[in-house]
Structure 1
Amino acid sequence: MRADHRRLRHDRRRARPGRRFTAPAPNRLWFCDITQHRAKDGWVYCAAVIDAFSRRIVGWSISDRITAEIVVDALEMARWRRRPEPGTVVHADRGAQYTSWLFGHRLRQAGLLGSMGRVASSGDNALIESFWSTMQRELLDRTNWDSRTQLASAMLEWIEAFYNPTRRHTALGNLSPADYETLHTPAATAA
């Protein structure tokens, strides 16, 4: 029993990314978080999963309620799209949705390693916080949203039609997340 406990502590320490926001390949390190924005008829919540390798949003979910299901839906989309190997580190803050039994259970079922930031330290999740800041500046603050439906559609379109395929990043050599992955993955170099 003691050996299992020590191994678990070691695995958790190894899983913590600290403030390293890069990965040597896709699907090794993911960051998760939730943001919210107001429309005239109420709040819209968006949960996302970002891959540290390419800064690509690999999973997301949008809802008018902030529950554990929204973060699980984003994780499930990421798993479905990317099919990560067991051992992928999934880092989140200590929000109630990420500390929920449901989220932890899904991580364990998939063989993913959960990681949590320190209490009151947004710096541990800076990669996805930067994504939210970009979305805020480039999309959300530019319009007064009439409805949650309009806002949710705009978020979805911004992620899938602009951010992932088109938006350039200086950290990626001025490539978009999709272009960076195409250029820097083994399948791309073998072709």
Structure 2
Amino acid sequence: MMKMWKVLNRQEVLDEHGRPTGRRYPPVARCTVARRMKALGLVGAVAGDHKRPRTTIPGKDVHPADQLNRNFTAPAPDNRWVADITYVPTWAGFVYVAFVMDLFSRRIVGWRVTSSLHTDLALDALEHAVWQRQRQGRDLTGLVHHADRGVQYRAIRYTERLEELGIVASVGSKGDSYDNAAAEALNRVFKTELIRRQGPWKTLEHVELEVLRWVDWYNTTRPHSWCDYLAPAAYENGYYAARNPSTATAAEAHTTLH
């Protein structure tokens, strides 16, 4: 209800051609929104824990230290990323989805959907994130990349790629989901808002197309409580606008993930 109230009070009046007029509608009381939602039988989606198959298997090699220690905040974009893998059951079998999220804005900067849990799943999501940020002119040197101890994130190819980019690897403790709680929370939101609402899922291609649409909506339209009820892309643009207006203008051209 809170998000609906915030969005309604930010809506601009449009002219007959659908263009913003610079004027806003009169403010709506929160109790009014709550009363109308109740009358219409509308309730917000609530993310919750659900049983699921294992998507990461702990690696046995020497692992990096935990650089976050459950502090899932960041002072700026591209300071700290978190990564994790979840699953989607389809009529053709399980498919797996890897996400990389920026902790500053909770923006999904990289993602990948595949039919296996091989290292390429996590690595392709990382490469997507790197491509997204580098095309925006971001410097990733010194960025902290945090994940669990799954073999996908501890694979030699993955750790070597992080080193090559100047990114600092970080992992949580064994078997403790709280050490990667921000990424786990994103997975729950993803399952609640997309997977459990639009199933049944038929094929990998079906999932991949809808994940693309959901990520774009999540990043550019969906109000996020972490971002003062702005969309993650708008929250980042506000950060850059306060420091360099020309940089913020350029960033607005890259708010859609492909």
TM-score between both structures, scaled by the size of structure 2? 0.66
Matched, 1:116 2:171: yes
Of 52, 58, 77 in structure 2, the residue corresponding to residue 26 of structure 1 is 77
Identify the residue that residue 61 of structure 1 maps to in structure 2: 112
1:105 aligned onto 2:160: yes
Q: Report the equivalent of 1:39.
A: 90
Q: Match of 2:13? A: none
Partner of 2:194: 139
- String of CA shifts for 1:96-124, please: whole Å, max 9, x gaps: 10111111010011110000001111111
Question: Could you tell me how far apart the structure 1 residues matched to 2:101 and 2:81 are?
Answer: 5
What whole-Å deviation, never above 9, does each CA across 1:123-165 have from its counterpart, x for those lacking one? Answer: 11111111110011111012211222112211121112x1111
Asked if structure 2 preserves the Cα contact closer than 8 Å seen for 1:40 and 1:148, the reply is no
Q: Any conservation in 1 of the 2:105–2:226 contact (CA below 8 Å)?
A: no
Distance 1:30 1:156 in 2: 20
Aligned to 2:142: 87
Partners in 2 of 1:141 and 1:46 — Cα distance? 15
Q: Distance in 2 between matches of 1:136 and 1:85?
A: 29
- The alignment status of 1:155 with 2:211, answered yes or no, reads yes
The amino acid that maps onto 2:236 is E
Tell me whether 1:168 sits opposite 2:219 in the alignment. Answer: no
Q: Cα offset for 1:188?
A: 6.4
Contact 2:106 2:226 in 1 (8 A): no
Structure 1 runs (4+) greater than 4 angstroms displaced: 186-189
One-letter amino acid matched to 1:90: H
Distance 2:117 2:158 in 1: 13
Partners of 2:243 and 2:92 in 1: CA distance: 45
Kept after mapping to 2: 8 A contact 1:117/1:125: yes
Instruction: Give the match for residue 16 of structure 2.
Output: none
Percent identity at matched positions?
A: 38
Shift of 1:72: 0.8
Q: Contact (CA 8 Å) 1:58, 1:82: kept in 2 or not?
A: yes
Q: Which amino acid aligns with 1:79?
A: V
| Unpaired runs of at least 5, structure 2 | 1-63, 247-258
Looking at structure 1, the residues matched to 164 and 244 of structure 2 have their Cα atoms a distance apart, in angstroms, of 32
What do you get for the CA RMSD once the two structures are aligned? Answer: 1.5
Uncovered stretches (5+) of structure 1, i.e. residues with no partner: 1-11
- TM-superposed CA distance for 1:189, in Å, is 4.8
Q: The residue matched to 2:99 in structure 1 has which SS?
A: strand
- Structure 2 residue aligned with 1:96: 151
Q: Secondary structure of 2:154's partner?
A: coil
